[in-house]
Amino acid sequence: MVSEAETSRQRPELHIDHPTAGGLLIKLAGSWTLKNNPPAVDQVLQQLAGNTTIQRVSFDGRDIANWDSGLLIFLIRLQDQCQQRGIDLDLDGLPEGVHKLLDLAAAVPAKEDTGRHGELPPLLARIGSATLDFVQGIPEMLHFIGEVAIACGRLLRGKAQFRRADLLLFIQAAGPEALPIVTLISFLVGLIVAYMGAVQLAQFGAQIYIANLVGIGMVREMGALMTGIIMAGRTGAAFAAQLGTMQVNEEIDAFRTLGIQPMEFLVLPRILALVLIMPLLTLYSDLVGILAGMFVANATFDVGTFEYYHQTIASLHLHDVAVGLVNGTVYGVLIAIAGCLRGMQCGRSASAVGEATTSAVVTSIVFIVVSSSLLTIVFQKLGV
């Protein structure tokens, strides 16, 4: 057990003396730590307010047993008050470590623009700010796309600087490691499409055409679309988080200092990985969706596996598969560009990495939806 004398010695104490007419001496003793609840600075401020002749405050800290940030908080608050009152603060009587920490605290001023100040601006003002941000971001996006095009040109000439091992790692992360979630989502989408169509087709005794509906729907649109959305939330966000973290750690600046182009070393292999893997994932998603439709037709609507297979083969053509592959490849390019763009635009804080990741997912999905609509119109006009 701690004796009463030991407890008294550890208790922080503050004594105020007036050795001279214009000076104030503060004697500190005991353990000045936060857990011991050190005295507040108000006791000293009362003395300063009651005596306007005080021009100097000094300390006697020989009896301080130990201290932590509790002492520093006390001194910083007193220092601010003394500066406002034009009083000289002499810290020579304090431990040497206190001087160093106070100098360090004064060397890095607190940011004044952190946190939320005041109320949110009106709705129209926020819409206007978002519109201006979007318009101002278009030139930066075009510049990024131009740099990607230059990097691809250097790749075709065999001059691009990136490690082939990185490309293989990105292919593995975007391809084989994504198979479980692609399988699950594609199977569920195939089930949904099959059930939705089968309920209507069963009214006319045309259950066999479930194969046409699921096959054409998955191969032309749904397989590529669902795979693209999955990859946007999984791989595009990962690209943005990786590059954003490198931006925070100033690794990208280090690459530029060493003469290595980040666009070639970091962005190009990620784009190549998605361009190469998205057509394969699209084909896999198509197959899983068709198998899900077969499961529904067999289990619920008495359509045989052999009949379903032949109906699917008869309904699908090579140009349907080509349309799905083109869609998937375009989605892969857009997802990679959106993820890498937001990662390279990331700020220098942890919150900026989160914002970049969120923005990458949103931008990727918007790109996918818009491009899907445009490609559908183009294929319709071409009669494909």
What is the per-residue pLDDT for 7? Answer: 47
Residue 1 pLDDT level (bands cut at 50, 70, 90): very low
Strands 13-20 and 56-67: unpaired
pLDDT at 287 over 70: yes
Read off the tokens for 339.
């993820």
Return the minimum-mean-pLDDT range out of 45-54, 234-243, 282-291, 361-370: 45-54
**More confident site: 90 or 292:** 292
The strand pairing partners of 13, in sequence order, are: 29
% of the chain at pLDDT higher than 90: 32
What is the per-residue pLDDT for 277? Answer: 94
pLDDT at 21 over 70: no
What is the per-residue pLDDT for 281? Answer: 94
Looking at residues 160-174, what average pLDDT do you find? 89
Rounded-to-integer distance, Cα 138 and Cα 142, Å: 6
What is the per-residue pLDDT for 19? Answer: 62
pTM of the model: 0.69
Residue 198 pLDDT level (bands cut at 50, 70, 90): confident
- DSSP string spanning 157-187? TT-----HHHHHHHHHHHTGGGHHHHHHHHH
Rounded-to-integer distance, Cα 181 and Cα 187, Å: 10
**More confident site: 72 or 157:** 157
Residue 232 pLDDT level (bands cut at 50, 70, 90): very high
pLDDT at 23 over 80: no
What is the per-residue pLDDT for 279? Answer: 93
Q: What is the pLDDT of residues 136-162, one digit of tens each?
A: 778 888 888 898 899 888 888 888 888
pLDDT at 257 over 90: no
What is the per-residue pLDDT for 360? Answer: 92
Rounded-to-integer distance, Cα 138 and Cα 126, Å: 19
**More confident site: 22 or 23:** 23
Rounded-to-integer distance, Cα 227 and Cα 182, Å: 6
Contact 269, 210 (CB under 8 A): no
What is the per-residue pLDDT for 2? Answer: 43
Residue carrying structure tokens 């046409």: 212
Fold of 7-107: Transcription Regulator spoIIAA (3.30.750)
**More confident site: 111 or 316:** 316
Looking at residues 214-225, what average pLDDT do you find? 91
pLDDT at 30 over 80: yes
In whole numbers, what is the pLDDT of the chain averaged over residues?
Answer: 84
Return the minimum-mean-pLDDT range out of 103-107, 136-140, 332-336: 103-107
Return the minimum-mean-pLDDT range out of 92-101, 162-171, 179-188, 333-342: 92-101
pLDDT at 67 over 90: no
Residue 186 pLDDT level (bands cut at 50, 70, 90): very high
Q: Where are the domains positioned within the chain?
A: 7-107, 160-382
